[in-house]
Structure formats: structure tokens, C-alpha cells
Amino acid sequence: MNPKDDLHLLAFEHAPVGLVVTESRVIRACNPRFAEMFGYGVEELVDRSFAILYPSFEEFVRIRDVGVEPLKKNNRYSDERIMARKDGTLFWCRVRGHSLTRDDDPLRRAVWSFADLSETRQVLD
């Protein structure tokens, strides 16, 4: 294995933010921080739809509709949104994404970072 590959893996595994690689909004890889943020183990999330991390299916669809145009335009998207943990509790996240495809389907493959904003932002019921 190339030493550079070791550094990339080390950075991915120990990043202070959640990192996830998706294909068509299905999680293909995520780091431990991402899984921990949502209350899952890494193995529980791989090959699962991102829909399980949203407060509702409608919100999952709405975020796609909002984000797809900026991704098509400049391959990047960011926002702050409410997400759902495995136990159902809601929390604010800062999300940044980068499409790895340059075609009409920017969600075909993308990399995302998630930062938990719970310490600075509360969800009001």
C-alpha cells in the first residue's frame, strides 16, 4: 500500500467532522464520526439510504430538490439543516457537499461533510 493511501485513510477515519461518500443518496462509506453523530455504527449505515437520517421522507425529498441545482451549477452545496438520530432526537447540522460527477446527475456520486451544531443551536419543538 502506498504511504499516501495510509495518510488518506487516517485522515478519513479520524476527521473531527462526519465524512460520507454517497452514490445516488445511498451511503457507500462513512467515517466513525459521521456514524457516531447519528447514533449508529459505521456498518449499520453502509448501503443504506440517506432517508433514514432525515426527520421525514418529505424533508429528504425537499433537500434533494433544493440542493440539486447548485450541485449541477458548481458541484458544491452547503446548508444548515435539522437531521434525525437513530433514537429519533433531532439536531442541527452544517452540511457541505461536493459532487464527483459532472453531468446531469450530480448526486450519482458525492462526498459530504457533516458538523453537529448541537452545542450552539437547539431544535425547538
CATH number at residue 110: 3.30.450.20
Predicted confidence band of residue 119 (pLDDT cuts 50, 70, 90): confident
Q: What span, in angstroms and rounded, lies between the C-alpha atoms of 107 and 113?
A: 15
Count of domains for the chain: 1
Q: Is residue 123 part of a domain?
A: no
Residue 7: Cβ-neighbour burial (10 angstroms; 0-12, 13-18, 19+): exposed
pLDDT tens readout for residues 29-54: 999 999 999 999 999 999 999 999 99
Helix (H) or strand (E) holding 27: strand 26-30
122 located within any domain: no
The residues near 30 (Cβ < 8 Å, ≥ 6 apart) are 18, 19, 20, 21, 42, 45, 46
What is this structure's pTM? 0.89
Partners of 78 in the beta sheet? 96
Residue range of the domain that includes 69: 3-116
pLDDT band at 85 (very low <50, low <70, confident <90, very high): very high
* pLDDT band, very low/low/confident/very high, at 106 (cuts 50, 70, 90): very high
Average pLDDT, the chain: 93
